[in-house]
Amino acid sequence: MNRFKVSKFRHTEARPARREAWISDIRAGTTASYGHHIKSSCSLIAFNSDRPGVLGIISLEDHRKDKKHVAYLGCHSDLVTDLDFSPFDDFLLASGSADRTVKLWRLPGPGQVLPSEPGVVLGPEELPVEVLQFHPTSDGILVSTAGRAVKVWDIAKHQPLTELQAHGDVVQSAVWSRDGALVGTACKDKQLRIFDPRVRAEASQSTKAHENSKDSQLAWTSTQEHLVSTGFNQMREREVKLWDTRLFSSALASLTLGTSSGSLIPLLDPDSGLLILAGKGESQLYCYEVTPQQPSLSPVTQCVLESVLRGAALLPRRALAVMGCEVLRVLQLSDIAIIPVSYHVPRKSVEFHEDLFPDTSGCVPASDAHVWWAGSNQQVQKVSLNPAHRPHPSFISCMIPPMEPPTDMAQPVETLRADTDPSEDFSSPTSSLTSPSTPSSLGLSLSSTSGIGTSPSQRSLQSLLGPSSKFRHAQGTILHRDSHITNLKGLNLTTPGESDGFCANRLHVAVPLLSSGGQVAVLELQKPGRLPDTTLPTLQNGSAVMDLAWDPFDPYRLAVAGEDARIRLWRVPPGGLKDILTTPETVLTGHTEKIYSLRFHPLAADLLASTSYDLTIRIWDLQAGAERLRLQGHQDQIFGLAWSPDGQQLATVCKDGHVRVYEPRSSPVPLRKGPGPEGGRGARIVWVCDGRCLLVSGFDSRSERQLQLYTADALTGGPSAVLGLDVAPSTLLPSYDPDTGLVLLTGKGDTRVFLYEVLPEAPFFLECNSFTSPDPHKGFVLLPKTECDVQEVEFARCLRLRQTSLEPVAFRLPRVRKEFFQDDVFPDTAVSWEPALSAKAWLGGTNGQPQLLSLKPPGMTPVSQASREVPTRRAPSSAQYLEEKSDQQKKEELLNAMVAKLGNWEDPLPQDSFEGVDEDEWAKYLAQIIVMGVQVVGRAFARALRQEFAASRAAADARGRAGHQSAAASNLSGLSLQEAQQILNISKLNPEEVQKNYEHLFKVNDKSVGGSFYLQSKVVRAKERLDEELRIQAQEDTQKGQMPKT
């Protein structure tokens, strides 16, 4: 009979949350590990951030007015590989890391700050910790894996109870059975093992699980007889198998899901038997019902996600909206958001359905570690999910005592309501409590000052979160195409890693070409546009170009290092190259191996430093054309070279793993030496913080790109802070702006430019908004400060080299009162184009100081001297809506308000981030929108709708009756693409069909013909969503060189 029994979950439907309900503005990590990257208790969510060793923490509590705030906890000095919440204590979190330790954290309640130190540290292990899990019935027990070792820990005693043996390779998964008696492990040796840790350390049973050794995961059902495994077969297809521990030689049931590079995360709810299969790197969730009695794995439903999945977790059943028949809630971790996906069983009556929600395990443990180890199998008491039987007893683990909240910050704790809609529990933040300073906790300064909670003022927030950079909202923008140099051909994209690839000053750009003879093209920045198709006049270097640099004090002199161990100095005629130049002004010889780095002295004229494969640094007097100083002491290739700002010292980073500082005029050997990056793939070095510190970009032992900050006078002690960034093949090229303290970091072939404000003391690194380009760049250089548009608060201007073009990129800071000179952003800058002394004077021991220049344009008043203005209310009063108006008048006012909102240039619009379209073109486009009256896109339309609907609702409330505008405001919500297509009855996106159906539906739903403004607003929202989708497709087609669809 069971074979033909109909499942109560057969009509289960997946409901991804609307965008308004996403937890957005996060930065999730994508580091490969066996963990799930996100876990949830009934009160908190924890997830891997994009900064190694840092977890994001967010409250699950039901904030009706406040938005969600994300805090970041610096847990480890290396990658966090796995994490888990205690099943009994919502605020007890365990984290495992590649730093070989397991740490337990007591997370704060409302109004408290995150801990700076863990409550318990277990380890260190011999290898990185891979996975961990709390015991399901006893408090104070944890299982963890590290390499082949599997340990069951007594947390209170800080020591293992036992170590499970016989694994032949790395253990990929270790999970407790639901009754806490057995441990199941999946190993890279393809074996599935069952252990009874209290009986013996060897496996009681084992079998071959999957044919492929790639990631394998386990999940137990509600009994200790059945468990589910996921893995890969010989054809690299993903497999799911159901096992019976009493018949362990073969699987009871199995299924395949096709080939994919991402492993499956099995999320099994033992109470319902529903299994969620989430593939890392995919955009789909599979739901199956596990029925061991038949046995079978029956498909229930599938859910297509809007973004790629990086991790997934199940919300505990005690936190579900049971009155809405929500049987599961999956938290999908994407790159920029946490997206709730709810699974509902449709029922007609709104009541508690006991068949869907049987009693579940409560939050009071059945025993402690001592009692369990002595042989107790007592189970956790069950509790009802019926809201009428709440609240349930709470439990606080004694492993880590709870923190006492400060008296001035204590707030009443809100209890999570199970009869609420999940989208209300996941409100999207307008601003997250994220301290950009947290990355400093990745290095040797392991501290976190972030906290969870709200504060009455920005000052109190800063006291909770630590300092933040005033440049954190910096915006990088590619300037208009009229300033681009296009039609570049034959670029040499294989210059050595020690070279920036090209160089620029305020007048010229020098770009090496791929043609033979080491040709260098010199382009005029003052003459942008399309280059001719004919051959450009070039500098004939005679040897392959290794590096090149402009003289900072002579904008017409270019130094080019060749593969033939010679340095050639070229003089570019005013107005640019007209003919091919074959004879350099000077040739410097002396190096015995090819040269790979050139650096001009920052203060002295006619001084140049060069590094070579002969492991020497040579300092040249260009006026005499001779070598003056030679520095030695390197044991391997010199990756990077940098002069100190005062020109007295030289710093290098070497492949031999050391950072060195020289005083060239005093000694040819290093003055100081310290440990450098572990990786040998490349590195760069630059002086920061007025010459007090050294910033080194390089790789760690796992080829992850990282930053190391040193105190220049204390290199021996190693870096003061280490910041891990990402995994990429190219070396990060740092460009430091001493006026702002900002460093711009990007690599050849990257699409992202990182921005950090560097400080000489904790928190050392303050993260700012990064700049992302649509396609990879081949080089990225910083132009002199005088090229910035100060009136637009442009603090940095760079040049971005693409394969066929050169584009200027402006970095600007949003400011309200741009009519004033922002003197806090633009201090007096050094006159870097005039030398402070001659080469002869410097070689003789003289030191100089640069002159300073104010960047304030004539006629502008510094903002520090401007009078403060009292802010005026811009929004119209709701009183003007109290008068009686017809529905047609209200509809016209609403549309006019939306058009007026689009005309507000002070608000950022989506087209502001588009490239290559001038304001006149956008004005024509906006005119078409106004004529049509319906095609409104982006954020401005959404805000206009909310404001106008809110005003209409206020008027309706004042009149004591609910009108159609009030109903529209209460029902206004975001639409997915599928919902929009259903509203307009569109199967395939076609502009003509969209417009035709929109006009028809808008007309037939008019108030005058029996319709309603609520239905018309739905039609308008659907039209906006489809127009936005068409615009996105058109933009993608344009980038691919095709004609847009619209």
Distance CA 799, CA 753 (A): 12
Q: Would you state the pLDDT for residue 1043? A: 47
* β-pair partners for 265: 278
- Check if the beta carbon of residue 23 is closer than 8 Å to that of residue 428: yes
Distance CA 1016, CA 1019 (A): 5
- Positive or negative torsion for Cα 531, 536, 539, 540: positive
- Check if the beta carbon of residue 129 is closer than 8 Å to that of residue 96: yes
**Strands 311-314, 296-304: parallel, antiparallel or unpaired by DSSP?**
unpaired
Q: What's the first-to-final CA gap in the chain, in angstroms?
A: 57
Phi/psi of residue 980, nearest 5 degrees: -65, -40
**Strands 742-746, 733-737: parallel, antiparallel or unpaired by DSSP?**
antiparallel
Length of the chain, in residues:
1046
Look up tokens 């404001």; give the residue.
947
Rounded (to 5) percent helix, strand, coil in the chain: 15, 35, 50
Q: Would you state the pLDDT for residue 493? A: 74
Q: At what angle do helices 991-1004 and 977-984 cross, to 10 degrees?
A: 60
Q: Would you state the pLDDT for residue 51? A: 80
Q: Which pairs from 147-151 meet CB under 8 Å and 24+ separation?
A: 147/171, 148/187, 149/125, 150/174, 150/183, 150/185, 150/195
Q: Would you state the pLDDT for residue 998? A: 85
Tokens of 287: 């739901």
Q: Which of 149, 159, 120 is nearest to 370 (CA)?
A: 159
**Cβ neighbours of residue 984 closer than 8 Å, sequence gap 6 or more:** 994, 997, 998, 1001, 1019, 1022, 1023, 1026
Phi/psi of residue 31, nearest 5 degrees: -70, 135
Q: Would you state the pLDDT for residue 795? A: 93
Type and span of the H or E element at 1001? helix 991-1004
Q: Would you state the pLDDT for residue 817? A: 85
- Positive or negative torsion for Cα 203, 209, 212, 214: negative
Q: How many other C-beta atoms are found inside a 10 Å radius of the C-beta of residue 378?
A: 14
Tokens of 849: 């100081």
Q: Work out the angle at residue 746's Cα, subtended by the Cα atoms of residues 741 and 751, and round it to the nearest 5 degrees.
A: 130
Q: How many other C-beta atoms are found inside a 10 Å radius of the C-beta of residue 46?
A: 26
Residue type, 788: C
**Strands 367-368, 138-139: parallel, antiparallel or unpaired by DSSP?**
parallel
Residue type, 353: H
Secondary structure (H, E, C), 594-621: CEEEEEECCCECCEEEEEECCCCEEEEE
CA dihedral 803, 807, 811, 815 (to 10 degrees): -140
Tokens of 795: 């603090």
- Check if the beta carbon of residue 911 is closer than 8 Å to that of residue 923: no
Q: At what angle do helices 938-959 and 1013-1039 cross, to 10 degrees?
A: 170
- Block means of pLDDT (10 residues each) for the chain, 1046 residues, are 70 90 82 87 90 86 56 85 93 92 88 83 90 94 94 93 90 94 93 93 92 91 92 90 91 89 91 92 92 90 91 93 92 91 90 90 91 92 87 83 53 38 36 34 35 37 60 91 90 82 92 87 91 89 91 94 92 89 91 92 94 93 92 92 94 93 93 89 92 92 87 90 86 92 91 92 89 89 92 93 92 90 91 91 91 90 79 48 57 64 46 44 52 48 52 46 33 64 81 85 75 77 83 76 48
CA dihedral 924, 925, 931, 936 (to 10 degrees): -150
Q: Would you state the pLDDT for residue 270? A: 92
**Strands 284-291, 274-279: parallel, antiparallel or unpaired by DSSP?**
antiparallel
Secondary structure (H, E, C), 180-247: CCCEEEEECCCEEEEECCCCCCCCCEEEECCCCCCCCEEEECCCCCEEEEEEECCCCEEEEEEEECCE
Q: Would you state the pLDDT for residue 681? A: 84
